[in-house]
Amino acid sequence: MIVALILLGIAIVAATIYVQVKKRKILKLIGPLEHFPQWPIIGGVQNFMGKDVAGITATIDHLLTSVKLPAYTWVGPLKLIMVLDDPEDVEILLSDPAALYKPYVYKFFKNDRGLITSEPHIWKTHRKILSPSFSINVMKHLLPMFNTKINRMINNMKQLDDGVDVNLLDHLYMCTLDMISASATDVDIDLHDGKNCEYVQAVIAGADLVATRIINVPYHIEWIYRLSKLYEVEKRSLKAVNEFLDRVIKLKRTMFDEVADAEEERREELAKLNNEEIETKPKIIINQLFRYWTRGKIEFQDVRDELDVMIYTGSDTSTHLTSYTLLMLAIHPEIQQKVVEELQSVFVDETVPFDYDSVKQLTYLEMVIKETLRLYPVIPYIAREVKNDVKLRSFTVPSGTIIAVPIRHMNRNPVAFGPNPDLFNPDNFLPERVAKRHPYQYMPFSCGPRNCIGMTYALYSVKAIVAMMMMNFRISTRLKFKDIKVVYNITLRITNENLVNLKPREDFFKNQ
């Protein structure tokens, strides 16, 4: 017994010395930076203990404004987390190959092979395969389909009783999910009228599930998590999503013509070699994945995980950005009027097609969307785990550190966005103002090699929905700008009920 106690004592002393020596080495690299409030052993975790998502959001906002950034904290005895908001340092960091890795919490998405979470060696191949699916050529191909889906949503809205408040999210989720499912798979899946209802519910549940797991630290331990009810919900959701995707993959596989695809690829290669411009088929996500799957370059699981990522990220983010933009227009009627005037200057009569070229001309609407993303960035922060030391301008980020970039906090910097950065002002995105800012100051789609692959898709799809909504409805709300509350639930959520009032805009073309 005494021997055991002595051995235990020696082990504790040795572990303490090891931790202290290691910590000293790490602190030497980062130099005299400030740290967030922290306790011995558990470090900064204590700031968040026992809090719900609203409490965690308030704590994050408080910490980011009360401590000078960059700053750090320990999580447990040896894991260092740093928060970095200087755009020049963020640029160096995100451009470094050591920062292509995501922290362990991304594993909670249970999607190891998809772009968002995968290890760099998988990610590099997949990014190359999927990048052509987000080209302008593909966007041009998709816009008529967007138009059909948006019209269907608008017609459903027109059936609602006059004067009732509408929860935009209900309608937008169905529409964006319909759009991205068709964009990714080239199949008109038709999610309306209760069809594929289990799949829709599973996609919507997915995001909240992961967010709940992240804020419940004991659930980070897999065996504890597996005892929870959440795990049961996760299993059911994953089953519904996988069954749905397997059905689509099976259907599309029978339609994929490998010989014709190889011929198309040869034609493209030849044209590239000869520096010739030729018309090529739009590179739809599922076809790109099939091209490499049928040649044995990627596995079935890669196809399924990538489709899952695209459909989840493509619907959740766009739904919230569209609804927040419409809410801003409802709250600011004078800005709504400017958007309508711009639309009337482009769509001078009913013969002007609603296509890529006309949507591209809506530059003021784009400023409105960007300003909405500044105040309400759907992804409020991103994180990386560096696998080597990374030298920044005045200190070094030690290998193994988790770095968080607080996008929302950077978007409210008064030096970059003027003395009233909390107000809604689309003029922040006038070209001359944008030119004065560091490109990494405003990065709602992240920056660097692992930035958002769907940025153009997101901007075009949101622009198309908002434009068509404005052409069809006058939109108002009782909600006041100052009363808006948000939480960080992985994605940023406005927690006020997103209720707006829609009145048909019958004079859109008549007044011109």
Residues binding ligand HEM: number (CB under 6 A):
23
Q: Are 171 and 156 in contact (CB under 8 A)?
A: yes
Strand segments, DSSP code E, in 59-135 are 71-75, 79-83
Q: Which is nearer to ligand HEM, 379 or 487 (CB)?
A: 379
Asked if 463 touches ligand HEM (CB under 6 A), the answer is no
Among 171, 304, 450, 474, binds ligand HEM (CB under 6 A): 450
Minimum Å distance from CB 10 to ligand HEM? 43
What is the rounded CA–CA span in Å between residue 296 and residue 309? 21
Asked if 457 touches ligand HEM (CB under 6 A), the answer is yes
Minimum Å distance from CB 191 to ligand HEM? 16
What is the rounded CA–CA span in Å between residue 67 and residue 36? 7
Map residue 447 onto helix, strand or coil.
coil
Asked if 401 touches ligand HEM (CB under 6 A), the answer is no
Cβ atoms within 10 Å, residue 212: 18
Residue 349 CA: distances (Å) to CA of 144, 355, 356, 472: 18, 14, 17, 14
Q: Which is nearer to ligand HEM, 26 or 378 (CB)?
A: 378
Q: Which is nearer to ligand HEM, 111 or 474 (CB)?
A: 111
Judged by CB under 6 A, the stretch of 226-234, 248-256, 375-383, 481-489 that binds ligand HEM is 375-383
Minimum Å distance from CB 251 to ligand HEM? 21
Asked if 378 touches ligand HEM (CB under 6 A), the answer is yes
Q: Are 461 and 179 in contact (CB under 8 A)?
A: yes
Asked if 382 touches ligand HEM (CB under 6 A), the answer is yes
- x/- letters, 257..296, toward ligand HEM (CB under 6 A): ----------------------------------------
Q: Which is nearer to ligand HEM, 26 or 466 (CB)?
A: 466
Minimum Å distance from CB 63 to ligand HEM? 20
Across the beta sheet with 71-75, the strand order is 34-35, 71-75, 79-83, 402-405, 382-385
Minimum Å distance from CB 403 to ligand HEM? 11
User: Closest Cα to residue 286, out of 261, 268, 259, 264?
Assistant: 261
Please give the DSSP secondary-structure letter assigned to residue 41.
Answer: T
Minimum Å distance from CB 67 to ligand HEM? 23
Residues in the chain: 512
The first and second tokens of residue 123, run together, are 């990610």
Backbone angles phi, psi at 494, to 5 degrees: -80, 125
The first and second tokens of residue 397, run together, are 């980020």
Asked if 426 touches ligand HEM (CB under 6 A), the answer is no
Map residue 54 onto helix, strand or coil.
helix
The first and second tokens of residue 111, run together, are 């999607």
Q: Which is nearer to ligand HEM, 127 or 338 (CB)?
A: 127
Residue where the block lists tokens 């927040």: 324
Q: Which is nearer to ligand HEM, 127 or 505 (CB)?
A: 127
Helix (H), strand (E) at residue 371: helix 363-375
Q: Are 90 and 192 in contact (CB under 8 A)?
A: no
Asked if 71 touches ligand HEM (CB under 6 A), the answer is no
Minimum Å distance from CB 44 to ligand HEM? 20
Asked if 99 touches ligand HEM (CB under 6 A), the answer is no
What is the rounded CA–CA span in Å between residue 255 and residue 252? 5
- x/- letters, 123..162, toward ligand HEM (CB under 6 A): ----x-----------------------------------
Residue 327 CA: distances (Å) to CA of 263, 377, 425: 48, 14, 14
The residue of the chain with the least Cβ separation from ligand HEM equals: 454
Helix (H), strand (E) at residue 166: strand 165-167
Minimum Å distance from CB 134 to ligand HEM? 7
Asked if 175 touches ligand HEM (CB under 6 A), the answer is no
Asked if 452 touches ligand HEM (CB under 6 A), the answer is yes
Asked if 319 touches ligand HEM (CB under 6 A), the answer is no
Minimum Å distance from CB 369 to ligand HEM? 9
- Look at the alpha carbons of 413, 416, 419, 420 in this order and tell me if their dihedral is positive or negative: negative
Which residues here bind ligand HEM, judged by CB under 6 A? 115-116, 127, 180, 309-310, 313-314, 317-318, 321, 378-379, 382, 444-446, 450, 452-454, 457-458
